[in-house]
Amino acid sequence: MTDPSWLEEGGALIRTFSFDTYAQGAAFVARVAALADERNHHPEVLLGYKTVTVETTSHDADNSVTDRDRRLAQAIDALYLGKA
């Protein structure tokens, strides 16, 4: 089950993560990128000041949310919580 912090809108799952520093956010982006490469499923990622917004959709399913997106969201949550 996907954390309720992920919003489903416009055919995508979207969540904004908060960090104490810009550098922590940048490090998280690098970990998300490595995870995305592993899974060959690449979300849009926006690095802001102390925030990172991730948006995932399945382009091969007419830009809709699939189980693949939900699994990626769960894995990103685990990274954020330090469990991966």
* Two structure tokens written together for 27: 């490090």
Higher-scoring residue by pLDDT: 83, 30: 30
Record the pTM: 0.92
**Vertex 36: Cα angle to 3 and 13 (nearest 5):** 35
In single-letter form, the type of residue at position 82 comes to G
At residue 61, the pLDDT reads: 83
Exposure b/e, 18-46, CB count within 10 A at least 16 = b: ebeeeeebeebbeebeebbeeeebebebe
pLDDT tens readout for residues 27-82: 999 999 999 999 999 999 999 999 999 999 998 888 889 999 999 999 999 999 99
> Taking residues 3-19, what's their average pLDDT?
94
* Domain formed by 7-80, architecture: 2-Layer Sandwich (3.30)
Domain residue spans of the chain: 7-80
